[in-house]
Amino acid sequence: MRSDKSYNKVFSENTPITVYPVIAAVLKKTDQILEDFRPKKGVGGEKFLKRWRQITSFITVSRLHGKYDFSAFELSQMDVAKYTHEEVKNTWDFIRKNRPDDLKAKTLKSKGYFVELCKEAAAEFAISNVDRVEKLTDFNTSGPFNKEKFDKEKLVVDLEFAMKVNELLPSQPWKPGMHKHITAKLKCSNKEYFQSVQLLIDEGIKSKQIDGVVYDSDGNVMAFDPERVNAQTLELLE
């Protein structure tokens, strides 16, 4: 993904709600398929899926997108029917071929391990923008698909407070760092601000915005920030 925030926190307050069913389907399919390859003893214990489901899912999804810097919105639009047994098996065969000894280990791996594995996958499957992975500050087996973390972050704001945020919001697309002015004005936390924005989006008062691009409820582009976004590709400018 194209920013540290969206990459490290797929389940942030600004994430499209439609991404959750996709993530659930991906993880469920991965678990089902990895069960076929689970060792019968030794490292095939209860931590086998915890060690390998996230990185297997991540590399497979990246292969299907052809890049590592896919956005949360792009993920939400992914056709899960294309996330097949064969696609996951191809990823797992790659891991087994490149890291056969590592499959015997019982410990969880470090960020550096997964970064190197993603680099190898980039070369093997022509996945672009591997530098996005290198910039991660929190990359482990909880991974970018950590729904448990999201479930713990329940709403702490109501619509009344969200409307106070709404009064201070400028027209979209919003600039990076804009929230600092509003949180200072309302003396609220970043979490309260971002949850308020998500609530406004859920209520149809504001529109979804991802990396400088504004989308309507059907996923159509409504506007974009020309100072941040390429008009042809709608990708962030370098």
Indicate whether 231 belongs to any domain: no
Residues 118 and 167 in one domain: no
- What's the whole-number average pLDDT of the chain? 79
* Structure confidence by residue, pLDDT tens digits, 199-222: 888 788 998 888 888 988 777 889
Residues 8 and 96 in one domain: yes
Residues 200 and 118 in one domain: no
Domain of residue 121, residue span: 4-147
Residues 100 and 42 in one domain: yes
Q: Name the pTM for this structure.
A: 0.54
Please give the tally of structural domains in the chain. Answer: 2
* Structure confidence by residue, pLDDT tens digits, 164-197: 999 999 999 998 888 889 999 999 988 888 888 8
Indicate whether 133 belongs to any domain: yes
Confidence class for position 139, pLDDT limits 50, 70, 90: low
Residues 102 and 48 in one domain: yes
Residues 164 and 141 in one domain: no
Indicate whether 237 belongs to any domain: no
Residues 109 and 181 in one domain: no
pLDDT above 70 covers a percentage of the chain that reads 78
Distance CA 148, CA 145 (A): 9
Residues 67 and 183 in one domain: no
Distance CA 23, CA 45 (A): 24
Point out the domain boundary residue: 116, 147, 178.
147
* Structure confidence by residue, pLDDT tens digits, 11-47: 344 556 677 788 889 999 999 998 888 776 555 455 7
CA distances from 227 to 72, 79, 139, 144, 236 (A): 21, 31, 30, 28, 9
